Chain A
Amino acid sequence: MSKNEGFKVSRRDDGNLTIVYPQGFLDAHTAPDFETELQKAIEGGRVQIIVNCRDLDYISSAGLGVFMGCIEQVRDLGGDIKISNLVPKVYHVFELLGFHQLYDLTPTEEEAAGKFTA
């Protein structure tokens, strides 16, 4: 759990959608890397963003703060951030902080993509 953590983030563009894949531990130490990746997408005009969390093992308030910091900007630009594939432990943290009321959380990336075209 805590001994072999690390954090990686990758990104894939698919038509108008940008899918971001955070992997590992999103904590106070790694949150800036995640923020940089999201900001790169936004600054490139990519504002229909799905964050697929299938490989995200841990998130703390610092990681959630990145979502909070970007969402207004993205929505002001006519886009959104949808979040998919949360593992139960990470979903629990989103839920405790009421993020399920602020963001579309979907079981799969495909369902998140569908919300952009709906």
Chain B
Amino acid sequence: MNEVRLEFPNLESEYEPARDRLIDLFRDSGLSPEAIGELELILEELLVNVISYAYDEPGTGTIHVSASVQGKAVTLEVRDRGCAFDPLGREAPDLDADIEDRPIGGLGIYLVRELATSVTYERVGDENVLRVERR
């Protein structure tokens, strides 16, 4: 099993280096370009969101990300100590709604749910823990 653990402050500038480390892990683990493309999308949706919204002020909190690959199965875990927030708690966007009735928000987490095999959220002590599995 290949694994990477990262820890970084909630700053926008931290997103790209973190993503690149994780993409390197996926590539080194022999995942297909299609799988890596979808994982890249999952990473952006998760990490940009947590960097932007987990804490009130930029640079005041820490985000922990771990990723492991076993065969073709990928597990991602994102943890922060911000306010309790369950991104899965909001309703899925109505994809049949007319354009004026479709909110812009919520598309990112919807995409993650579509691309992943499972997505779970837990509040553990003072941490938000979001786990994504893709097989």
Residues on B lying within 8 angstroms of A by beta carbon are 12, 15-16, 19-20, 23, 33-34, 36-37, 40-41, 44-45, 48, 93, 95-96, 99-100, 102, 104, 107-108, 110-111, 114-115
Q: Nearest B residue to A88 by beta-carbon distance?
A: B34
Number of A-B contacts (CB under 8 A): 65
Main secondary structure of the interface of A (DSSP, over half): helix
Residue with the highest number of chain B CB atoms closer than 10 Å, among A1, A58, A71: A1
Q: Would A28 and B40 count as touching, CB distance under 8 A? A: no
Which of B41, B114, B115 has the largest number of chain A CB atoms within 10 A?
B41
Contact of A1 among B36, B107, B110 (CB under 8 A): B36
Contact (Cβ within 8 A) B111 A96:
yes
| A64 close to chain B: CB less than 8 A | yes
The residue in A28, A62, A68, A102 that gathers the most chain B C-beta atoms within 10 A of its C-beta is A28
Known A1-B23, A101-B95; contact A69-B45, beta-carbon cutoff 8 A: no
- Decide if the interface of chain B is mainly helix, strand, loop or mixed: helix
Question: What 10 A-B pairs have minimum CB-CB distances, sorted nearest first?
Answer: A98-B95, A61-B108, A61-B107, A28-B48, A65-B104, A60-B44, A68-B104, A2-B23, A96-B114, A102-B99
Q: How far is the CA of A55 from the CA of B37 in the complex (A)?
A: 16
| A109 sits at the interface (CB 8 A) | no
B residues near A97, Cβ cutoff 8 Å: 93, 95, 107, 110-111
Q: List 18 A-B contacts (CB under 8 A).
A: A29-B12, A60-B44, A60-B45, A60-B48, A61-B107, A61-B111, A62-B48, A64-B107, A68-B99, A72-B100, A75-B99, A89-B37, A93-B41, A93-B111, A96-B115, A97-B107, A101-B95, A102-B102
